[in-house]
Chains A and B, each alone.
Chain A
């Protein structure tokens, strides 16, 4: 059973001048945790806004819970939960007031669906009399999630919920999403952080309004088309510069403490490369074959 079906939707701005979403199709199963992964300006927010009935697609069609996003917007609006990217709650209302307000607007009460948010809410409950403007980033995010969940939505749209949030809060946030998934809620989340992709059931990599690849994170990385090597040396900048001049090199880039590289020949002559790098004055050289990550796949797809 599919919760969201998107067929060939296109969206332009400024009277057709700016192409934001370019003929995109995908579908999300009920109860799935689906990730739209891509940088800012890739078209993620436009897709979210079309699915939440805030924008009309120029072409193509989409349904949420079987309802058409153009004609059945009323049904969709009462059944989905949405957390926009720049959403920042009402700064001058307290945690409690914010939550109560959104519950009432959605025609429910906090007690009615408390079981859904309990996990998250208990973490911020001690501060329930505090105004939202005075909360830390992580707490604001938890409150925002509570507000989006309070009416027991069938599908939850989270637009870049972790942008600008530190790694610890990000990790906690993803743990919350996994628990929500167990409650049977379909979750569609967008993020510019590639490392978060691995936590989704399926992902769509998106850039410049086009979907580059849709699959499970494992399949995306498994289908990496080349042999990937991680190379380490005592000096990163020199290492990168040296790799660029290595004749057999296809692509190379920094990746944490290593540089990742692909080569033209089927089997890399590691001894030869090590020799080459030593000649360039590098030391502490380590070369190993590694499986690709989502980020590697994305970089490959972009090239």
Chain B
């Protein structure tokens, strides 16, 4: 029996009459790369916020790394990492200062931070850049660095919100190498993306339409089910049926 790190049951979030997330239920296994897809406005961000303990659900239940999303949000936050395209790192701090800061926030000891810093510098090939301001690095490096910082404290789950937007194809793949490595270390990866080829790299994916999870399966099974050649087609067929996307 696989260990479940995310268990969602009929998780719902309403804003007034608007149901942003409508009774979504799914489970994610430990060490799995889970793709969380959906059109703009389908409810992905709302769902992700609830899972990170940032927003209380209206109804339903969910446990993240074994902790309840209603009552144990502090424990959840200690056991997850988060990275989004919008917020990555402090641009006016150096790479080293950023790593030390985030390490400190997650309660790593000085010794651990030192080890992690060295490991990160050699893995990303950033040894000579450690004293440079993050703002001066190219976007691709920032994103890779930001991911490494998000998993610095070896969280059980790392949430990635469109981590590779606007990144060049080579760096994008290097980024996915980092994701694979993390999954290899049994860190669960929960990722949203607009690149459909990246959906293929996930073990399983869910596609949200109008606040509901419409399908959830491996990429291969989904393509079979929709008789499609690519995930792009699967997505297109599903999202076309959305009523809410443009209202």
A residues at B contact (CB < 8 Å): 38-42, 123, 127, 136-139, 160, 163-169, 171, 192-195, 207, 236-237, 240, 253-257, 295, 298-299, 302-303
Contact = CB atoms under 8 A, between A and B. Distances in A.
A298 B232 contact: no
Interface of B: 38-41, 138-140, 162, 165-171, 173, 176-177, 180, 183-184, 194-197, 200-201, 219-220, 230-232, 235-236, 239-240, 242, 245-247
B213 to A, nearest CB: 16
Nearest to A162: B194
B39 A237 contact: no
19 contacts: A39-B168, A39-B169, A40-B139, A41-B139, A42-B168, A136-B41, A136-B247, A163-B166, A164-B162, A166-B194, A166-B239, A166-B245, A169-B245, A192-B165, A256-B197, A256-B201, A257-B220, A299-B169, A299-B170
A138 B240 CA distance: 13
Which residue of B39, B40, B231 has the most chain A CB atoms within 10 A of its CB atom?
Answer: B40
Nearest to A303: B170
Contact of A136 (B40, B165, B166, B200): B40
A90 B189 CA distance: 37
A38 B40 contact: no
B139 A137 contact: no
A240 B178 CA distance: 13
B172 to A, nearest CB: 8
Nearest to B86: A164
A298 B170 CA distance: 9
B236 A168 contact: yes
A40 B230 contact: no
Nearest to A168: B239
A195 B231 CA distance: 13
B220 A40 contact: no
B200 A40 contact: no
Given A42-B168, A257-B219, 6 more contacts: A40-B139, A123-B246, A164-B40, A164-B194, A166-B245, A168-B240
Contacts of A166: 38-40, 194, 239, 245
Contacts of A127: 247
Contacts of A253: 170, 173
Given A138-B245, A240-B180, A169 B39 contact: yes
Given A39-B167, A163-B165, A256-B230, A168 B245 contact: yes
A299 B169 CA distance: 6
Nearest to B235: A167
